[in-house]
Structure 1
Amino acid sequence: MTGDAAAVAAERVAGVAGELAARVTAYDALRDHRAVFAYTYFRLTSDLAAGLRTNNPPFRAPEWVADLSVSLAAAYFAAMDAIDTWLGPVPDARPGGEVLSADLPETVPEPWRDVYAASTVRHSYVLEEVLFSMMAHMSYDLPLALRALAARGDVHHRIADFHRMNSLLASSVDVVQAEIATRYCRRLRSLDRLFVRDDELFTSYGIRVARGLAWFNCDRLLDPDASAEALGSISRSTAAFIAEFRSPDDWRRRRAFQVLRALVPSRRQWPAPAAPVAVGSSPG
């Protein structure tokens, strides 16, 4: 593939990163908990754009990589826009306190209703907001985005590039997690690591596994005999993940979490209003 194609692909993905940066700024200003995942998504997308720009890793079809990035982001943006429509245009008039998933309209995909509702719990932690959103995005949005690309042509011959994407994104996780701690919760490693046994999704290995499962679920969605069951499964999986995270099967851990939520504040901070979100290259 020519360098021109890779450069065009990099610019398209950088455009996605720019839109994500704008949303981070808006969410930060409103102290909206969606900022934490939006920043995570922005950073990972910035790293993908940098990988395309430098041809590291050497994608065989950078235009397909960009197509997937754009399609996947479009699903996320549509879900966030639907939430914003429900919340209304006046920040001070938006619903306060805890909301239920059923309170949100069906225009918001079920997994994102579950995520938003979970973020309104009084003691919602930064790590939770990343994990729950990543679950919705990778278990629901990603297989649907892959299915959409499959409608234009067979995606199976793109599996090598998909694996390269997985490796690139997975390699960024540790740095991104440290940046989230600096930006939103300086005590992330001491407080949110109380949930250390449940945060496997936000690791290099977890990213690879979750994205690999999304590829499998895309195959299920493409099979007429399996598509209905697959769609139901990916629609319910985020709620199941949240429930297991917050109410583990082990009664001792479940009780410990209940005590923590009653006693420990969420311990987050927000960037200063003038704090910029760098666009165009990965932060250092």
Structure 2
Amino acid sequence: MTGADEVALVAAELDRRRVEFELHHDPRAAFAYIYVALTRSLEVQLRQAETGFDDPEWVADLATALAHEYFTAMDAVDQALGAARATPRGLPSARAFPGEVPQPWRDVQAAFGRRSYVLEDVLFSMTAHISYDLPIALQRMAPVATHIADFHRMNDVLGTAVEGVQDGLAERYSRALAVLDKVFARQDELFSNYGIRVARGLAWFNADRLLDASGSADALDSIRRSAGAFIREVRSPDDWRLRLVLRIARFLVPERRRWPDEPGFGPPAEQTRVARAG
């Protein structure tokens, strides 16, 4: 099995979960949709005759290890929600989740328990995944310095792809996303080529900290708190005027989350854009 085949399996499992989230009207669907698109873009790149990577197998291994962290966290969330498939809104507090759910994902789920928008669903989940899951995955792989070039080439592929999927996200879950994007203009830098590169670069740095025995405890504490800090910044910024505007906007603008009628990933044109993103 090639590295591209491994990444294809990851994409297939992500898409299976995306379908399940949609069927249950679970806010986790929006991030899963983005994750599928980015993973498929990486797969397309790995299937090129010239992948652009020095060690394509390591790239595939990292994608698989990272997805494992996400799958493990989502399985723990599912267990917490219960066999009855309770809605995430039924658990409004991060403390309602058991210890098996990593703290960043507890914070994300708690945000779903309050009024949330599609853009927030994506940004909060992406923050937890990159700021927490990625350093943990890198720590477990113990990358060497020679891998950093491939890591940044991955950033190129993923950063380019993420800018091409926002239209599909809006069409699938919220046609008001363009308006909400303006409301949250200060916080959505992560949902961009530049934001992906910066966030992943910081994740590499934090992985190095985790591998350093003298700083690992502080590093772990930092990445555990990162998603919660970002969510608080979005939900309750320091500037009281902005805080007031956002509260009014949140009160006046309905969530308007829509759910697709068909489980397919998207129309052929959308799939073509995803394939070309690599």
TM-score (norm 2): 0.93
Which residue type is aligned with residue 213 of structure 2? P
* Residues 65 and 162 in structure 1, CA contact (< 8 A), matched pair in contact too: yes
CA separation in 2, counterparts of 1:283 and 1:18? 17
Residues 201 and 94 of structure 1, relative CA distance in 2, 3 Å threshold: closer
Q: Hey, what's the Cα distance between the residues in 1 that align with 2:254 and 2:50?
A: 42
Q: Show the counterpart of 1:12.
A: 6
Percent of counterpart pairs with the same letter? Answer: 53
Instruction: Give the deviation of 1:192 after TM superposition.
Output: 3.3
Q: Equivalent residue for 1:111?
A: 104
C-alpha distance in 2, partners of 1:73/1:116? 18
What is aligned with 1:58? Answer: 52
- Asked if 1:22 is matched to 2:11, the reply is no
| Aligned pairs, number | 272
Indicate conservation of the 8 Å contact 2:172/2:258, yes or no. Answer: yes
Identify the residue that residue 134 of structure 2 maps to in structure 1: 142
User: Per-residue displacement from partner, 1:257-280 (whole Å, max 9, x unpaired)?
Assistant: 11112221111110104445689x
Q: Which residue is 1:69 aligned to?
A: 63
Counterparts of 1:43 and 1:276 in 2: how far apart (Å)? 9
Alignment of 1:180-195 (within 5 A): 180-195=169-184
State how far apart, in whole Å, the 2-side matches of 1:52 and 1:192 are.
32
Which whole-Å CA distance do the structure 2 matches of 1:196 and 1:94 have between them? Answer: 29
Partner of 1:239: 228
Say if 1:105 and 1:271 are closer, same or farther in 2 by CA, change over 3 A: same
Question: Which secondary structure state, in structure 2, belongs to the residue aligned with residue 159 of structure 1?
Answer: helix
Counterpart among 216, 223, 240 of residue 251 in structure 1:
240
Contact 1:125 1:266 in 2 (8 A): yes
Which stretch has the larger CA shift, 270-279 or 178-187?
A: 270-279
What is the identity, as a one-letter code, of the residue corresponding to 1:229? Answer: D
Q: TM-score, length-normalised on structure 1?
A: 0.91
Give the alignment's Cα RMSD to 1 decimal.
1.8
- Where do 1:1-284 residues align within 5 Å? 8-55=2-49, 57-91=51-85, 93-94=86-87, 96-97=89-90, 99-121=92-114, 123-150=115-142, 154-276=143-265, 282-284=271-273
CA distance in 1, matches of 2:5, 2:32: 19
Q: Residues 142 and 278 (structure 1 numbering): CA distance in 2 closer, same or farther, change over 3 Å?
A: farther
Q: Whole-Å Cα distance in 2 between the matches of residues 165 and 107 of structure 1?
A: 29
Structure 1 unmatched ranges of 5 or more: 1-6
* Cα distance in 1 for residues equivalent to 2:32 and 2:88: 21
